[in-house]
Amino acid sequence: MNIFLTGATGFLGGKLIKGLAEQGHTLYILARSLSKAAAILDGINHKNSNIHIISGDITHPNLGLSHDQLEELSGEVDVFYHMAALVKFDLHLKEELHDINYTGTLHALEAAKAMKAKRFFYVSTAYTLGTREYGEERLYSETGPFNNPYEESKCKAEHLVFDYQQHFGVIILRPAIIVGDSITGEADSKFTMYGLMRSLEVFKKRMERQNKGSKTYRLLCEPDSTQNLVPVDYVADVLQEAIHFGEDGSIYNITNSDPPNSIDALNIICENLEIENIDTVPFESEADLSPEERSLNDMIAVYRDYLTRNIQFDAKNTRTLMTKAGKKALQMDTVMLRRIIFGYEKSIK
């Protein structure tokens, strides 16, 4: 098949193109940085695949592709994966998130339309559910409410994607919190769990420099909250199998049916980072925090809404897809979780 991809030089994209290349597909990879794309390809065995790197940017109309480039691809693209996105939760980035995640998706859709692509796969997020406690495999209201502008931008983009169903088949794929490889633990990411880990590491070093490293600090976390972590290789596998077994017009929650407890995950993170002086306490203790503890919790404030909830996700469509592919849905145990968390050090070296 001929497959066009945005965001292929990212954490998830790199894993996906490796699998697609091994299957011998012809890939058209949109990249802002040609050198980064070339570096990723150096680590991929693509002797059976034909790979083209195309300079472009999702913030530009038609992805920055010329009329001649679009004409050359016209009728040639079987599947268009749109993965490129900005994954940040800060309120002050609302406009930038809209430009990249919503308008960028519009540009991708228009380019796919100009190419006469047969199918369009939009990689969204399971957290378009906003403040709800139960995630379904359907579109949510564009009005939310949402926890942050990232969720809002992705939800609105989902509606936009479904509006293009008269032009090509569309599928929405919604991963939860993407983490490292289930086998090696390695991850090329600075976001979500890895951003939190980095913040804890920075706080530890700061307190040590101030000779306050022996004190115990409290981190706010609800004891019954969970972290819906999904390994990058599992997510890439679902995306890849969607080519053969995904049904157009469907939404797939790529989630963890047995997510780890937040405190258990934080304890393993602290063990990995050799942090022995952080205790977790419920948010009702917030008023009693010391200045240093407030600093710690401020550093991870963007993750606050993900340390308070135990969200349940319906993933029936994804389970059905994987069953058709002859594969099992995700089963993450403590051994896998530890492998992924301890893979953090390998990933940043």
Per-residue confidence (pLDDT) for residue 48, from 0 to 100: 58
> In whole angstroms, what is the distance from residue 151 CA to residue 157 CA?
10
CA angle (188 as vertex; 60, 79 as ends), nearest 5: 50
Amino acid in position 71:
E
Q: CA 347 → CA 108, 125, 184, 342, distances in Å?
A: 31, 23, 10, 9
pLDDT (mean) for 137-157: 98
292-306 pLDDT per residue, tens: 999 999 999 999 999
- Determine the pLDDT at residue 348: 47
Q: Which amino acid is at 218?
A: R
pTM of the model: 0.94
Coil, helix or strand at residue 34: helix
Contact (CB, 8 A) for 54 and 8: no
Burial 318-347 (b: 16+ CB within 10 A, else e): bbebbeebeeebbebeeebbebbbebbeeb
Residue ranges of the chain assigned to CATH 3.40.50.720 = 2-175
Average pLDDT for the chain: 94
Architecture per CATH, domain 2-175, reads as 3-Layer(aba) Sandwich (3.40)
Mean pLDDT of the 5-19 span: 93
- pLDDT digit string, tens, across residues 74-129: 999 999 999 999 999 999 999 999 999 999 999 999 999 999 999 999 999 999 99
Residue % of the chain over a pLDDT of 90: 87
Model confidence pLDDT, tens digit, residues 163-205: 999 999 999 999 999 999 999 999 888 888 999 999 999 999 9
Residue 209: what pLDDT? 93
- Which pLDDT score, from 0 to 100, does residue 349 have? 43
